[in-house]
Each structure stands twice: as C-alpha cells, then as structure tokens.
Structure 1
Amino acid sequence: MNFMRLPIFPFIIIALLSGCASNDKDFSDNADQEYAHAKQLIEEGEFGMATKRLEKFDSKYPYSKLAIQSELMRIFSAYKGNEFVLSETMSLRFIDRHPTHKNVDYAKYMLAMSYYQQRTSAEKDISMYKSSISAFERLIKEHPESAYAESAQNRLQSLYNILAEHELIIGKYYFDHDRFVASANRFQELVRLYQTTSSIEEALYYLAASYAKMGLKRDARQTAMILKHNHPNSPWSSKSEQYL
C-alpha cells in the first residue's frame, strides 16, 4: 500500500514542523535535536532507524512537549517499516494514555491498519480480520468527521466482502454435503452481518434452499420473497422462484 497517499501524511508533516518550532526553555536542546534527527530519518525513508531513535527519545524525554508528537511519529515509522505488531502496540498505548487527544483518531486508524496488515488467508485465520473490522467500526462510530473515516469505510467494505465470500464457501460446502442445518446457520450469519456485499444474493438463495431441504417450506418461501423483493433482477432471485 502506498501509505504516503493517505490523508494522514499531511498531518504528520504539520505536526513535525510545529514540534520542531517548539522552543520551550524548560527542555534541553538535546531533545529538540534528537527529535529533529528522527524526523530527518523518516523523511529519508530510514524507518527502522527512526523507530529506534524515537524509542530512545521516549525513554529519555518522557515529559518533553514533543513527547506526544514523538509517540505519533513512532507509530507512523513503525508502520512504514512493516513493524505492524509494534505499531499496533504503540497505537493501543496512545489510545489508552491520551483518550481525549485531538489526534487520537489517527491512533485508532493506525491500530485498525496495523491489524489489517497482519491478515493472513481467511481460510486459515480470520482473527485479524475481525480485529481490524472492530477497530475501523470504532473509529467511524467515535469520530465520524475524522479525516480517516472515509478510508476506514472503504477498508471495512473490502473486509466485509472477503469474510462474506469465506462464509459463502463454507456454507455451500455444507450444503453440497447434505449438512443443511450447518449450511443454514452459515448463510443466516452471512445475511445478518454482510448485507452490503455482493455475496448476499447467493446467500439468500442457498438459505432458502437449505430451509427447503429441511422441510421448512414457510421459511424457504419467506427467504425467497426477501431475495426477490430486494434483488428483483438477480439471477439468484429467478432461481429461487421454485420456493415461492
């Protein structure tokens, strides 16, 4: 992913510049110099070195007025350096320590993105998919006007699509092996959670078919009617007419 193209980067630049402009006499020049050094490393793409430098900064200057900006910058450098577990950990810590900070929405977005980047195949493990969905949903709910909300919504939809397809594959496997209770449960879950995905039409058809196979004609008919009403032009709607 070309992370630099996301709306977060301008904020980073502004935050860093404003931080470098700080000239508070209560803090030594060394803090300013170390912070500026880490900033330069990021600008040069040396994210691993920058992350280490910022870790040292956080340890040496925990009460600096640059400390919060340093935390945010460390999240960014860890993420850009593909240290997603670290960016996850740092994001969680920032959210816990600064729940009302004006840039906490950024930390919540980076938490979700850190989960997002740790995904494996949905067939193997969906835990990071669910963690990412939960984090994106939290960001959108708590910060609907955030600059990151639109990106979060787009990521959410892509995750919904993947998990809906995963549920569809499993449900069809059960259906094809005459395990109709199990298939109905899968299709019910898909219909409940993933209404905005392209898998919904096929799931409704197979849910109706599963009910029919179990002798639940009324449920099959109601499901087929929902499919026909919501997706009248779908080929799955036409196919479900046998259950009406």
Structure 2
Amino acid sequence: MNKFLIAGLVFFLLSGCSLFEEEHQQMNKNAQQLAAEGAASFMNEDYAAAVKAYTDLKDWYPFSKYAILAELKIADAHFHLKEYPEAIAAYENFEKMHPKNEAVPYIINQVAMCWFNQIDTIDRDATPAKNAMAEFERLIRLFPDSEYTQEALAHVDACIDNIVSHELYVANFYNKTKKYQAALKRYQYIVENYAGTDQSQIALEKIPTVSEHLKAVKSDNEKK
C-alpha cells in the first residue's frame, strides 16, 4: 500500500478518535452543567456558544427539568444573533410544544419582534410589517393584560404606517408611469382600508386627478 495513503488513513483514524473523545467528554457533562454553560455563554453575549450548549442539553437530556429552558434560550440566542428565521422557527415550535406555558405571551411578542426587526424601507416588500402586525394583534387579543401589550399597540401603529406607506409608494409609481387603472385601485384601497391615516388623505386627493387621466385615456382609445 502507498505510504502516503497509509499516512492519510492513520491521520484520519487519529482525527476520528480525537473527535470521538471530545464528544464523549462533552457528553459526560450533566444537564445542570450544560445549563450553566449555556447561561454563562448567554451572559457573555457568546450566543453561538449558548446555542451549542443548550442544543446539547436538549438533545442529550430531553426529559431534564432544564430542557424547556434550553428550548427557549436557543430561540433567544438566535434572536440576538439576528438569525430571525431560525428564531421564529424555534419560538413557534416552543409554543406548539408548550401551549399552556407561562412564557407564551413572551414567545408571541418575540415572534412579532423578529418580523418587526426585518421591516425595511417603504419601497420594499411589506410582508415583514404584515406578519409583525398579525402577531402583535394576536398577542393583544389573547393576552390583553400582558406586560407586552402596550408596546405591542405602538408597534401595530408602526406596522400600519409602513404598510400603508408602501401601498402609497406603489400607487404613486403606477400614477407616474401612467398606469392609471392600477393607480386608481391602489388609491381607493388605501382610502377604504386605512381611513384616518395621512396616507389615506393623500390618496383621497389623488383620486379625482387619476380618474380624469383614466377617462382621457379611455376617450383617446375610443377615438382610435
């Protein structure tokens, strides 16, 4: 056998043994030790290490009294890392598995904040604002006395502002590019669904002019 191949095999086996020994040493930690390790990492803002410790705890000791804590802290760590899709998945799984847990209001608020923190400028997709608003409204509906409710109400207003501003941006774009039918529908939608907002007033003022443009276009088409 080629001596380089033998050397490679030896290295692979030794590396494998090293990895096995390291994993074995980690598995010798009990649930309390892993919980403490995860907490220390979290406090030191080493959230990636916290995820590792809490994941090991959850996987190796699923029936430990610390397992539920691990599930929650994994989600929180992803949130602090701004890994919002992972955080949302972890929070939603926690609520699914523990629907009666006292942390559920916090969980719903955190899911909402994951979406809220992804809200972009008004020329971008408004889906994060819509999803955030839906979660904040669910929190307010299910837990009206929650400590998070007042702040959620303010966040709902911010979500509405982003959503309706996006609608107005799109309507104005259609108007500028002379797509008057599409623009009119958007302006009317804003007036009907977001009455009382500044954007609704702007849309209302735009409708007569856009309607006139639309009539003129139809008239020109009929003459052709």
Q: Same fold (TM over 0.5)?
A: yes
Q: Is contact 1:84-1:114 (8 Å) kept?
A: yes
Please name the residue that 1:166 is paired with: 166
Contact 2:122-2:165 within 8 A present in 1 as well: no
Q: For residue 93 of structure 1, what is the aligned residue in structure 2? A: 93
Aligned mates of 2:55, 2:193 — CA distance in 1 = 40
RMSD of aligned residue pairs (Cα, Å)? 2.3
| Helix, strand or coil at the partner of 2:30 | helix
Q: Determine the C-alpha separation between the residues in 2 that align with 1:92 and 1:205.
A: 43
In the superposition, the TM-score normalised over structure 2's length comes to 0.74
Q: Which runs of 5+ in 2 are unaligned?
A: 1-28, 216-224
Q: Does 1:127 align with 2:105?
A: no
Alignment of 1:1-244 (within 5 A): 30-195=30-195, 197-211=197-211, 213=213
Q: Against the structure 1 CA distance between its residues 130 and 36, is the aligned structure 2 distance closer, same or farther, given a 3 Å change threshold?
A: same
Q: Which amino acid aligns with 2:45?
A: G
Q: Post-superposition shift, 1:68?
A: 1.7
Q: Secondary structure at the match of 1:199?
A: helix
Contact 1:161–1:198, Cα closer than 8 Å, also in 2: no
Counterpart of 1:118 in 2: which secondary structure? coil
Contact 1:172–1:183 under 8 Å retained in 2 = yes
Q: 1:208 and 1:66, CA in 2 relative to 1: closer, same or farther beyond 3 A?
A: farther
**How far apart in 2 are the matches of 1:192 and 1:61?**
54
Amino acid at match of 1:116: F
CA deviation after TM superposition for structure 1 residue 212, in Å: 5.2
* Structure 1 residue 39, shift from structure 2 partner: 1.0
1:184-229 CA-partner distances (Å, limit 9, x unpaired):
21112223343353312112212344345556xxxxxxxxxxxxxx
C-alpha separation in 1, matches of 2:194 and 2:38: 43
Inter-partner Cα distance in structure 2 for 1:129 and 1:84: 14
How far apart, in 2, do the equivalents of 1:149 and 1:96 lie?
21
Percent identity between the two aligned chains:
25
CA distance in 1, matches of 2:36, 2:181: 62
The Cα offsets for residues 82-140 of structure 1, whole Å up to 9 and x where unpaired, read as 22121111011012111222111111111111222334444343332322222222122
Amino acid across the alignment from 2:149: A
Query: Cα distance 1:143–1:191, how it changes in 2: closer, same or farther (>3 A)?
Result: farther
Name the CA distance, whole Å, in 2 between partners of 1:195 and 1:208: 17
SS of the equivalent of 1:144 reads coil
Cα distance, 1:178–1:105 mapped onto 2, change above 3 Å:
same
Distance 2:196 2:213 in 1: 27
* CA pair 57-37 structure 1, distance change in 2 beyond 3 A: same
CA distance in 1: counterparts of 2:35 and 2:160, whole angstroms: 40
Q: Distance in 1 between matches of 2:55 and 2:74?
A: 8
Deviation track 1:34-81 (CA, whole Å, cap 9, x = no partner) reads 112211111111111101211111111211222222222221111112
* Gap regions ≥5 residues in structure 1: 1-28, 216-244
Q: When the two structures are superposed, what TM-score results if normalisation uses the length of structure 1?
A: 0.68
For residues 122 and 171 of structure 1, the distance between their equivalents in structure 2, rounded to whole angstroms, comes to 12
Q: Who is 1:20 aligned against? A: none
Take 2:110 and 2:60, find their aligned partners in 1: how far apart are those partners?
25
1: CA distance, partners of 2:155 / 2:213: 37
Taking the aligned partners of 2:192 and 2:116, their CA distance within structure 1 comes to 23
